[in-house]
Amino acid sequence: MGVSFDAHAPTNHSGTQPKVARSSRPNYNKLHAQPLPVKAYPLPPLIPHNPLSLLHIAFSYLFQWLAPSSSHQTMSLCAYLSAETRSVHITNEATARILWEQGFFGKGSLSRSEPAWLERENIRRGLLMGNTSEEFTRQRREERKQFKKDRARKEREAIDEKLAEEAIACSNDKRVCAPAPEGIDDDILEPISERAPPDSPLLPNGDERKQWSPSNVGTDGLKLPSVVPESPSDFIINQEHFQLTLEEAFFLVYGLNVLEIQDPSTRQPISTPTLFSICRSRSYFPPQPLANCSSHDAFLLSYVVYHHFRSLGWVVRPGIKFAVDYLLYNRGPVFSHAEFAVIIVPSYSHAFWSSTPGLRAMIGKKEKKSWWWLHCVNRVQAQVRKTLVLVYVEVPPPWEIEQTTDQAGEVLDIGRLLGKYHVRELMLKRWTPNRSRD
């Protein structure tokens, strides 16, 4: 855990500054108790040496049969499709909160992940007290930055003390000390005690020292006007909306059946087959008609992988920040960092894809990856302590996809179509000689 410092805070006798207590965080275990926006009602465990457990199981089964409980939300979760951004937008704050807290779906349009723009704005205007998750992240980064500054200052002090000892020993021995090398400023050899540290509130300005504060100095050195908090009676309109990727939205519609996506122009709900066709056509740029969509379009491959890992219990988040397709979290971003970074690689092992020279040339371009690319991506994941996973998706031939569609190209059985794709996982780790000698 890092330690936060204040430039104006008093120091103790050892010269170090006291720790500053952090504000308490929310109870994430309680907020994110449900891994998905659906409720499960498992049967009690069977204990072989306890016959009463059989009665407990029979009573639970009979109760669910006579008075079944719904596994879905009582309120309807609605969203609308945005063709311009190729995403699904949600403007209802309650719906956005449910999808984020129960499965970490989507992100705020004006936030890093959790939709917290309105809360940050209220805190900035002095209408609320506390910190958001982004504020906690910023505090941790400031603490690490301050720790590095203090470490560099102590190293500089140690060097100055060593130079002072050598100077005293040199004067006692009455030997001529070698002059300082050319090109080195005399300020470098000046003891740290005789000059102000870089983070000191008192900075020299000629022969005078003036009070300096980072809050009133801009990037160009000009003084910025102080922010006057608005009146508490001011009403702030939430300008942030919640957005889902096409893969997340379709999983909520098809996989969980908890979300209803509407057409923004007609406000009518979009059926699941129609939404599947829209997502496929929108995965191309510019969007292509459904008849021109192939069996290896980007949405099909990405959704197959997304559905695969979501079904295994992983929290799947976009990984563009680390040059990958997806990041896999064990419980969620608020609990720990992502453990695995996923890259989707299409695989064309069926004999159809090598039947003609044209197909072989096309598939060769899609499958071709250089060792330089692999080493670069693997090095990035090793630096951020993530394990790279190459996910190979077996692409079926076109006629197998046509068997699940009608004459217009709309899918009749989505589950049968997705069953044509197979997923293989390959885990890679960067080999370093100093850590893998055995």
CB contact at 8 A, 235 and 245? no
Confirm if 117 and 125 have CB atoms less than 8 A apart.
no
Q: Token pair of 96, please?
A: 């956005």
The packing angle between helices 133-172 and 117-124, to 10°, is 60
11-64 per-position pLDDT tens digit: 455 555 555 555 567 788 998 999 999 988 888 888 888 888 888 888 888 888
The CA distance from 15 to 3, in Å, is: 15
Contact 78, 95 (CB under 8 A): yes
119 C-beta neighbours (distance < 10 Å), count: 20
Where does the pLDDT of residue 3 fall: very low under 50, low under 70, confident under 90, or very high at 90 and above? Answer: very low
Cα gap 130→39, rounded to integer Å: 31
75-121 pLDDT, tens digit per residue, is 789 999 998 899 999 999 999 999 999 999 999 999 988 898 888 88
The tokens of 121 are what?
Answer: 């704005």
Q: What is the pLDDT of residues 333-377, one digit of tens each?
A: 999 999 999 999 999 999 999 899 989 888 888 888 888 999 999
Task: Establish whether the linkage from the previous residue to 286 is cis, with ω within 30° of 0.
Answer: yes
First to last CA, the chain: 32
> pLDDT tens, 209-258?
344 344 444 434 444 344 444 554 467 888 999 999 999 999 999 999 99
Measured distance CA(283)–CA(182) in Å, rounded: 62
> The pTM is what?
0.74
Of the candidates 303, 272, 298, the residue with the CA atom closest to the CA atom of residue 284: 298
Pairing of strands 326-329, 340-347: antiparallel
Please tell me the predicted confidence (pLDDT) of residue 343.
Answer: 96
